[in-house]
Structure formats: C-alpha cells, structure tokens
Amino acid sequence: MLNELEHIQLIGANVVLQPLQLSHRDDLLSAATDGKLWDLWYTSVPSPDSIDSYLEVALAEKSRSTSLPFTVLEKASNKIVGSTRYLNIDHQHHRLEIGNTWYAKAFQRTAINTECKFLLLRFAFENLDCIAVEFRTHWHNHRSRNAILRLGAKMDGVLRNHRIEADGSFRDTVVYSIIRGEWPTVKKSLLFKLNR
C-alpha cells in the first residue's frame, strides 16, 4: 500500500504533512514543549528524555512499511507544530489507523487537526484504496474521543485492559472507524467545517 510513498507530502491550505525525519528532532521537541504535552498521562508525546527513542521507533516502523509518520508544518508560521501518522497498516485488508497525533498547545482546538485528518482520510480512501480507517485513543482521553467523533467516526468498541503502560497500569483503548461507504458524507462534512 505504501511501498513508494515514503516521500509523500500532503498539502492543505493551512498545513503541510511532511515525512518525519531525524532532522525534525529539535522542532518536534520545541512543539511538544508548548504545554509540556508529555505530562498528560494518557498520551504518548515525546519529551526531552524520550525524543530520540520516539524518532527511532517511528522510523523503524516506517522502514517495515507498517507506519508512515509525518510532521505537521503550519504554513503561516513555517513551523513544525506537531506530528501524526498512518500506523498499523494492513496491506492485505486495505486498512490502517490514523494516530500518534499531537499538536503544540497553541495549535490545539484550531483548524489544524480538522485539516490534517481531512488530508489523511482523503489520501487513505482515494489514493490507497482503504476500506476502513481506524482511530484509537485512551479511555480517559476525552478531548481526543470528542475530536474523533467530530470527524464523523463511529465507535466500534472498547478494548478492555488492552495495554500495559510503562507504569504498570492497564489501558482501556476506545476504537473508532470510518468505512469506505461513509467517506463521501464525512468528506462533505469536513470540507464544510474547513470552509466556515
């Protein structure tokens, strides 16, 4: 599905999703520092202590074609303001997940997330021939859950005790999806929001 797409850029009116590179390290760390996003216990945002392993894991997954990580460049400021990616790519069944998404605090609750998700969904359904796109988040990440619902995704269910976190606690993961037949209506809704 993504064999020849490692250099793909997705360009919108406000953002450019560009392939993640090691050279983005300092800019990503600067964006994550806005709000000290790594302090949110229910998310996985790189900190000064974890930025190198964050990049290493993302680029290793990319080399295995199971992930395609992007940095989010805000066009007006020409600054990297966050990151997102395609992950859990299932080439055989034409499915993938959009996740590992985070933005500097100053860019949260702006059009940035809506446009990023629009660009990723459009490419997944219209270029990669996906039949379903998933979103997963921590049960306690209510902001993320609400944002996913606003996109037009539907909740598939909750994976109870889905993961063991670094501190030994159990994570319940909420799974949402948009399927191919829903994309035209979701697309129309997202374009309406972006054009308002």
Is the pLDDT reported for residue 3 higher than 70? no
What distance in Å separates the CA atoms of residue 102 and residue 185, rounded to the nearest whole number? 25
pLDDT of 37 reads 63
Burial of 111 (0-12, 13-18, 19+ CB in 10 A): middle
What distance in Å separates the CA atoms of residue 168 and residue 175, rounded to the nearest whole number? 22
40-61: pLDDT as tens digits: 656 678 888 889 999 999 999 9
148-183: pLDDT as tens digits: 999 999 999 999 999 998 889 999 999 999 999 999
Domains in the chain with CATH codes: 10-195 (3.40.630.30)
96-135: pLDDT as tens digits: 999 999 999 888 888 999 999 999 999 999 999 999 999 9
